[in-house]
Structure 1
Amino acid sequence: MSTSAEQPTVREAVIALLRDFGMTKIFGNPGSTELPLFLDFPEDFSYVLGLQEAVVVGMADGHAQATRNAAFVNLHSAAGVGHAMGNIFTAFKNRTPMVITAGQQARSILPYEPFLYSGQATELAKPYVKWSIEPARAEDVPHAIARAYYLAMLPPRGPVLVSIPSDDWNKPCDFIAPRRVSTQLRPEPALLEAIGAQLDACERPAFVIGAAVDRDAAWQETVQLAERHNARVFVAPMSGRCGFPEDHRLFAGFLPAMRERIVGKLAGHDFIFAIGAPAFTYHVEGQGPHIPEGATLAQLIEDPATASWTPLGTSAVGGIRLGLQDLLARPAPRARPLPPARPVRPRAEPPAPGERLSVAYVLQTLDELRPRDSIVVEEAPSSRPVMHEYLPIYESETFYTMCSGGLGHSMPAAVGVAMAKTRQRVIGLIGDGSAMYSIQALWSAAQMQLPITFVILKNRRYAALQEFAGVFGFKPGDRLEGTDLPDLDFAGLARAQGVEGVRVETAQQLGEALTAALGSTRPVLVEVEVA
């Protein structure tokens, strides 16, 4: 209720603002300091409950990416923000727009360090939010929410945080009228002209495509520019989205996150154009040049910080789609021959009797059975190289994963994506180690009856760590502590949360289980024993 006929409460002003911004879903796990927000909860809003704050932020991340609009997240004071930090970090790396509100104790008792208060609320989530604030006055809260939304949506997009004392929600304030704020910045024309001239003059161009291509709805422009120049197209290391059809004649594969191997993959190209991608993301130390000898590098990126650390070449900062449109508006270049085609991968064979299924065979079977426009939300790090070969992505907005390397994102993100993409089948492809970081997401999927197919690749270990150990001096056969995962029953965990769970050990069971799961109107988890 309003405090007077003239002024609304902070709660009423914020709800009106969220409605204007199209954020009528509140992702949260409620605590005591957030309860005043939900008094007289409006009928056109919905509360999306996650059973742990990391799950909450993961669902919000998937939903925001799939809708291209900021998600509204409500967390509980310091403890809730702490639980959520892993996926806040991932949202920051994913460039996901997100307005995070955190509860705070009442202003009147803050001097006495009350129970469940946040002593440094604006510092807690830094440096992985674009901006954070605890408004000086209750009546400033709506303005802070508005500013947070605009900042979250401005490139490079990302999460912001507003800490709100519990007694602010019932205080009088003024309504805030929504404004139109540009979310597209055009790259500098002179730099684009220079890049265009380099592209026209080179003999053997290569494109390196990053997550910002699909984030900025620049898929078609990327394909058109590649076809205009007959450029080979690689996907950047650790990219959280797909920006190019992987069955296209010009697709050349994926770059590893290692300097020397990147240079090797790009050898023979005299001009490298990183589009919506860092140049480059590395995972281990490397030596030598960043690009092949005799090549030049240019970059089109929406993030000034990324442009600032790029080690060489020309960087144009601005919207990916607008930049590509400007490059496509230039006169047509001279004709180039097609580059060599990518080798055709061999088919994966079913296992011999008594052997476990290979990841390649599982993913090949999944690809053959799934709809072409189905959406893969992946977090199976050790299986990603195999996925790149046997589970190609064909269309825009049909692949999501974490750009951060932090686990626990993709199972709840699949729930958020499925909430937004109701006409497409969503497949959560998750490793067994990853699944345990946010297994509670299954409960949310069951409560909303979302038709998600969760595929758990169960190799009973943190395989990525075991395979990576050689970089740090481990020899084959050396024991690596803390990387075995025996005795996990994912089908049982699914059933306990209301999701149908199926265990698969043979090729026949695999085909039958995936066919049924992909056709189900409810969430189904398929636990696959793999070698």
Structure 2
Amino acid sequence: MLSKAIPIPRVYTVRHAVIDMLRQLGMTRIFGNPGSTELPLFRNYPQDFSYVLGLQEAVVVGMADGYAQASRSASFVNLHSAAGVGHAMANIFTAYKNRTPMVITAGQQARSLLQLDPFLHANQATELPKPYVKWSCEPARAADVPQALARAYYIAMQEPRGPVFVSIPADDWDQPSQRVAIRHIGFETRPDARTLAMIGDALDDAQRPVLVVGPAIDRGGAWDAVVALAERHQARVFAAPMSGRCSFPEDHPLFAGFLPAMRERIVEMLGNHDMIFTVGAPAFVYHVEGQGPFIPPGAKLYQLIEDPAIAAWTPVGMAAVGNIRQGIEELLTRPQKVSRPAPPCRPAPPVPAASADGERMSVAYAMHTLARLRDPHSIIVEEAPSSRPVIQSYLPIFHSAGFFTMCSGGLGHSLPAAVGIALANPQSKVIAVIGDGSAMYAIQALWSAANLRLPITFVILKNRRYAALQDFAKVFGYRDGDKVEGTDLPDINFVHLAMGHGCEGVHVTDATQLPEVLQAALQHPRPILVEVEVA
């Protein structure tokens, strides 16, 4: 009788350890654009994993950014070595400013080649993404790769969250390894109770308190708590400058509007308040040089922020550092001592008219029409800097996780981010409102949306110019009518671009046709682009 053959045990490799670790962490969706040094990771790719392909590395990181923000968990990115990371750097910078948890890996040439300056290797690989990653590593040994990735995940998720980077030589994946034990780590830090008590006292004692809310509120799940705090103190609420998330319902009677990134205007708009409480935002982000005080005379500034670096550079006031939700919830446990009259509501903007004969429609009319037709629970993803003040007036956001844009000012984020957000929220309608200049930084994301068959409505506001730069030129001494070089765009056909990437597209010039076109696009079961000619 023949004895039963005993199977030869497989060698447990770095690839096995990493796949098992990612599965335990729930990171089974990999965003990437593969190169030669990444191929060993994907041999015998597991069936319970998916690969989200982007046609350019900036698109890959943008999609992963949107997915991580919408899912509130770290995403996993796989890039090629130096050239691929270089392509991705703009959106790595944005992910850093967005505080997006993201584990970014990049291939590296085989260790035996690194002393020979090989083709497509990364020289000083860990230095390339700095300073816009929280941590950067190329493990000293192949056996260290799984543990380095585990460490990267924990660092990415620790507040303040952000992207991390691990460079992995191509021959490491097939080397023997050990399983990685997944540990529980508390990623939130409770703010100092004594400092919170001082902030609570200041809120109680103030005559006219104001809250300035920022993206860390929505990132940290503190939306409801902040609304409760504002209502308790009858405090007006402004959105912080350059905020990448909506952190307060914009139809609420206490919502007062949006602060600009200009020191003098911020002081002017906060001038009637004696206590300023900045929650989840820097105090303050500026875009142009300013003069004079940072806050109105006689006012005092208090801050609650999860990032100690922001608290350190804030020029005035007192700061509590730690998790936003825990800090606000602790303030809400205090007994209510004062009752104030409600401040006056901000006036509603006038209803915009359709364009006159022969004129392009206004952005205000386009956004007012979109706001009227969209599901209020749909998600807006925006990147139209020159139109942002108008969008803020006519396309209000009502719900947590209902709005995303970039905190960095770097273009090319939001079009691919819409793809990642739609992947994370298959039950929600995603609407991407993108300027024509911004769209060209990451237009390849349309292919990913089409390939994944995601029902995203892309609204391109086509003003045929880099309008933000033309408007901003006055700050630097340009006069009305002066030519600003490099800001006029040629006649780009976005419908053809959409079709070339597998999406349907429609062009709208006549304002009277816009409601019908938008209604059909919002109900479309696949990605569709609406190119809107605006003044």
TM bucket by the smaller chain?
over 0.9
Deviation at 1:406? 0.2
SS at match of 2:171: helix
What is the CA–CA distance in structure 2 between the aligned matches of 1:346 and 1:512, rounded to whole Å?
22
Does 1:57 find its partner at 2:67?
Answer: no
For residues 291-326 of structure 1, what are the alpha-carbon distances to aligned partners after superposition, in whole Å with 9 as ceiling and x for unaligned? Answer: 111000000000000000001111000000000000
Unaligned runs of 5+ in 2: 1-6
* 1:184 paired residue number: 188
Does 1:36 find its partner at 2:40?
Answer: yes
* 1:210 paired residue number: 214
SS at match of 2:459: strand
SS at match of 1:376: strand
* 1:499 paired residue number: 503
* 2:429 paired residue number: 425
For residues 244-264 of structure 1, what are the alpha-carbon distances to aligned partners after superposition, in whole Å with 9 as ceiling and x for unaligned? Answer: 000000000000000000000
What is the CA–CA distance in structure 1 between the aligned matches of 2:510 and 2:249, rounded to whole Å?
31
**1:403-442 residue pairs with structure 2 within 5 A?**
403-442=407-446
1:323 counterpart (314, 320, 327): 327
**1:242-257 residue pairs with structure 2 within 5 A?**
242-257=246-261
Deviation at 1:507? 1.7
Normalised by the length of structure 1, the TM-score is 0.99
* 2:387 paired residue number: 383
- Partner amino acid, structure 2, of 1:291: I
* 2:50 paired residue number: 46
Deviation at 1:7? 5.1
SS at match of 1:167: helix
Does 1:72 find its partner at 2:76?
Answer: yes
* 1:100 paired residue number: 104
SS at match of 1:434: helix
* 1:168 paired residue number: 172
- Partner amino acid, structure 1, of 2:513: Q
Deviation at 1:423? 0.9
Deviation at 1:32? 0.1
* 2:163 paired residue number: 159
Deviation at 1:333? 2.5
* 1:341 paired residue number: 345
Unaligned runs of 5+ in 1: none
What is the CA–CA distance in structure 2 between the aligned matches of 1:146 and 1:60, rounded to whole Å?
18
Moved over 4 A (4+): none
Does 1:16 find its partner at 2:20?
Answer: yes
- Partner amino acid, structure 2, of 1:199: L
Does 1:482 find its partner at 2:471?
Answer: no
* 1:239 paired residue number: 243
Number of aligned positions between the proteins? 529
Does 1:278 find its partner at 2:282?
Answer: yes
Q: Contact 1:7–1:174 at 8 Å: present in 2 too? A: no
* 1:508 paired residue number: 512
* 1:308 paired residue number: 312
What is the CA–CA distance in structure 2 between the aligned matches of 1:20 and 1:264, rounded to whole Å?
51
2:367 counterpart (353, 363, 368): 363
Deviation at 1:363? 0.1
What is the CA–CA distance in structure 1 between the aligned matches of 2:311 and 2:24, rounded to whole Å?
34
What is the CA–CA distance in structure 2 between the aligned matches of 1:149 and 1:403, rounded to whole Å?
22
Does 1:523 find its partner at 2:527?
Answer: yes
Percent identity over the alignment is 67
For residues 146-180 of structure 1, what are the alpha-carbon distances to aligned partners after superposition, in whole Å with 9 as ceiling and x for unaligned? Answer: 00000000000000000000000000010001000
More deviation, 157-166/337-346? 337-346
What is the CA–CA distance in structure 2 between the aligned matches of 1:30 and 1:72, rounded to whole Å?
13
Q: Give the RMSD, CA atoms, in angstroms.
A: 0.9
Q: Contact 2:354–2:512 at 8 Å: present in 1 too? A: no
Q: Contact 1:242–1:397 at 8 Å: present in 2 too? A: yes
What is the CA–CA distance in structure 1 between the aligned matches of 2:10 and 2:473, rounded to whole Å?
66
Deviation at 1:508? 2.4
Deviation at 1:6? 7.5
For residues 325-350 of structure 1, what are the alpha-carbon distances to aligned partners after superposition, in whole Å with 9 as ceiling and x for unaligned? Answer: 00000111310010111012111110
Deviation at 1:462? 0.1
- Partner amino acid, structure 2, of 1:429: V
What is the CA–CA distance in structure 1 between the aligned matches of 2:149 and 2:534, rounded to whole Å?
47
SS at match of 1:508: helix
Q: Contact 2:521–2:528 at 8 Å: present in 1 too? A: yes
Q: Contact 1:228–1:333 at 8 Å: present in 2 too? A: no
What is the CA–CA distance in structure 2 between the aligned matches of 1:8 and 1:140, rounded to whole Å?
14
Normalised by the length of structure 2, the TM-score is 0.98
Q: Contact 1:200–1:334 at 8 Å: present in 2 too? A: yes
SS at match of 1:122: coil
SS at match of 2:336: coil
1:258 counterpart (231, 256, 262): 262
* 1:121 paired residue number: 125
SS at match of 2:335: coil
Deviation at 1:351? 0.6
Q: Contact 1:377–1:410 at 8 Å: present in 2 too? A: yes
- Partner amino acid, structure 2, of 1:136: A
More deviation, 177-186/250-259? 177-186
Q: Contact 2:58–2:412 at 8 Å: present in 1 too? A: yes
Deviation at 1:465? 0.2
What is the CA–CA distance in structure 2 between the aligned matches of 1:133 and 1:365, rounded to whole Å?
49
